[in-house]
Amino acid sequence: MIYYVDTNYFLRFFLDDNQKQTEVVRELFEKGSQDEVDLRSSIVVFLEVYWVLKSFYSFPKSQITELLGAMLKMDFIKFDDEKIMLQAIKLFSDNNLNLEDCFHLAYVLENNGEDKKLATFDKRLKKVLDFV
């Protein structure tokens, strides 16, 4: 059985703010870690977790970075573009950019090799790309 893990599952797991739902999530993650089920998620969920932690819960950048990293370290959950997501977290941690811009930069770096061209008017984005 394949399960696609949604934003609210990750939030319940990390925030532990609803005991009943957190237990359901833990049971599913346990099954995933024992290869009883196949767990997957997406960049959209990753970015939604970021947005909710930042906008709704007002978590500081350092805590958001830590939780997003923990999401990707759950090796029993498969993410498309995981390598790009890891690089985006690193860029986010090291620079004064939002995560969406960091993901876009990581995507450019992963897919364009040495011939890096980014069409943007964002000076901060261009500056970071010049130094990566």
The tens digit of pLDDT for each residue in 21-58 reads: 999 999 999 999 999 999 999 999 999 999 999 999 99
| pLDDT of 122 over the 90 cut | no
> Which pTM does this prediction carry?
0.88
Calpha distance 104→88 (Å, rounded): 8
Q: Are residues 47 and 93 in the same domain?
A: no
Q: Are residues 58 and 13 in the same domain?
A: yes
Helix (H, G, I), strand (E, B) or coil at 59: coil
Give residue-wise pLDDT tens across range 47-94.
Answer: 999 999 999 999 999 999 999 999 999 999 999 889 999 999 999 999
Instruction: Count, in order, helices (H) and strands (E) of the chain.
Output: 7, 3
Q: Are residues 109 and 52 in the same domain?
A: no
| pLDDT of 113 over the 70 cut | no
Q: Are residues 66 and 21 in the same domain?
A: yes
| pLDDT of 118 over the 70 cut | yes
Q: Are residues 76 and 86 in the same domain?
A: no
Domain of 45, in residue numbers: 1-80
